[in-house]
Structure 1
Amino acid sequence: MQFNKVTHVLFDLDGLLIDSEDLYTETFTRVSAKYGKQFTWELKASLLGFQASECADKIIETLELPTTREEFMALKGVPIALATSSSQDSVQMKMQNHKEFLQLFDHLVMGSSDPAVTKGKPDPAIFLVCAARFPDKPKPEDCLVLEDAVNGMKAANAANMSVVVVPDPRIDSAQLTGATLVLRSLEEFKPEVFGLPAYDE
């Protein structure tokens, strides 16, 4: 099955974020392998706390890759951001042991403390604000939202974005008819069905 192609991915926080670290490790491993180099645990550990662009610089320097930061970031391929209804204080508290992980996102939008987000989900404001903060300002239809909640799904629908929902199993499936795709786990996500780079086996 093939869905609308997307270029940018927006993550909800609660229930989804921790699974995302594997996506970044996979991406850095894949990009490094294109140059015949190995993205090791030692290198990954040295990047903790870095912003995405700083990660690119460090990987290029350490592995002596014949590329620029801009080319590396383009190969990374999928700009991702966080769009959570939580406040900045709440995110900092919940993620205090995962600060390095938050640094991997291109940007963070925390709805409860962001003045640009005028209403909470199911209003589309948070996703529209989040998409508008990417430097290339993608159209809503070029964005994919990863969510676990019905209100998040509704907000993505209202924003005219594709949405993959990984719901709590107790949610009635009849409430999820607005989802582009429903998965039991993020591990089932196949980015290639949305035109994104596939994971390497």
Structure 2
Amino acid sequence: MRPLKHVVFDMDGLLLDTERLYTQVYTELLAQWGKLFTMKFKLRLMGLSAAESAVLTVKEYELPVEPAEFQRMAMEKQLEAFKECSLMPGVERLLKHLASCHVPMAVATSSRKDTYTIKTASHPELFKLFTVVVNGDDPAVKRAKPFPDIFLTAAERLGVNPATCLALEDSPNGVRSALAAGMSVIWIPDAAHDFSVDHDDLLDHPEIQRLASLEDFRPEHWGLPSF
């Protein structure tokens, strides 16, 4: 593994326990039309923008609403659910450690700026540790994950070469985005999902290390300061 000097984090499902909230919201919405929200379909949504998720959901389930209306309905429920987002295991320890060692850090999240603000409101001191935050509705992000735009933008604003960055992700779309940007990747997938079916090309990739939790992350493996 080449030594790395900068770290770029996804947010939903990696830093904050929001993925279960997304599942709850989509399950409730689709139930209104007698539809079942499946984990297989959720994998296709992970990493997409809110608008792209709405378009794909309306098309997949043949819903009798326009994507913009579905997005509005989902956002209304999400904003209430996101008011108290808990941290994922290992997050606080890792962020404080990297910050104390002066490792530049960025967030590259598909969340819009307004929802990012709501989601992170319970943890202001931790999220102040990030040098850069790039949101999904940032004008520089022309294409959502799995395209590399958001990670390239994060590296550019850190003022560094993407090849010197380690990206941490939980979704296949996010992993592909970071790889396309030229970064090495820590992949912490949701244990409830079977990724071997549609994402087997990621399972043995030389620039990906899979972990069960951020608690298992060893910074020194990547040339970063050890705990």
TM-score in terms of structure 2 length: 0.61
Q: What corresponds to 1:64 in structure 2?
A: none
Q: Give the root-mean-square deviation of aligned CA atoms.
A: 1.6
Report if the CA contact (8 A) 1:16-1:148 is conserved. yes
Distance 1:117 1:82 in 2: 13
In the TM superposition, what is the alpha-carbon distance from 1:172 to its structure 2 partner?
2.4
Secondary structure in structure 1 of the residue aligned to 2:176: helix
Q: Are 2:114 and 1:89 equivalent residues in the alignment? A: yes
Equivalent position of 2:171 in the other structure: 149
In the alignment, structure 2 segments of 5+ residues that lack a partner are 16-86
Structure 1 segments, 4+ long, off by >6 Å, are none
**Is residue 225 of structure 2 the alignment partner of residue 192 of structure 1?**
no
Q: Please give the per-residue CA displacement for 1:93-133, whole angstroms capped at 9, x wherever unaligned.
A: 1122112221111111012x200000100000000000100
| Residue 103 in structure 1 maps to residue 128 in structure 2 | yes
The answer (yes or no) to whether the contact 2:143–2:149 under 8 Å persists in 1 is yes
How many residues of Structure 1 are paired with residues of Structure 2 in the alignment?
A: 148
Alignment of 1:115-194 (within 5 A): 115-134=139-158, 137-174=159-196, 175=199, 176-177=202-203, 178=205, 180-194=208-222
Partner of residue 92, structure 2:
21
1:141 CA drift (Å): 1.1
Return the alpha-carbon distance in structure 1 between the equivalents of residues 160 and 98 of structure 2.
21
Q: Percent identity?
A: 44
Shift of 1:186: 0.5
Give how far 1:170 is off: 2.6
Sort the Cα spacing of 1:95 and 1:77 in 2 relative to 1 into closer, same or farther, 3 A: closer
8 Å CA contact 1:77–1:197 kept in 2: the answer is no
Per the normalisation by structure 1, the TM-score is 0.69
Q: Distance in 2 between matches of 1:9 and 1:25?
A: 13
The alpha carbon displacement at 1:154 in A equals 0.5
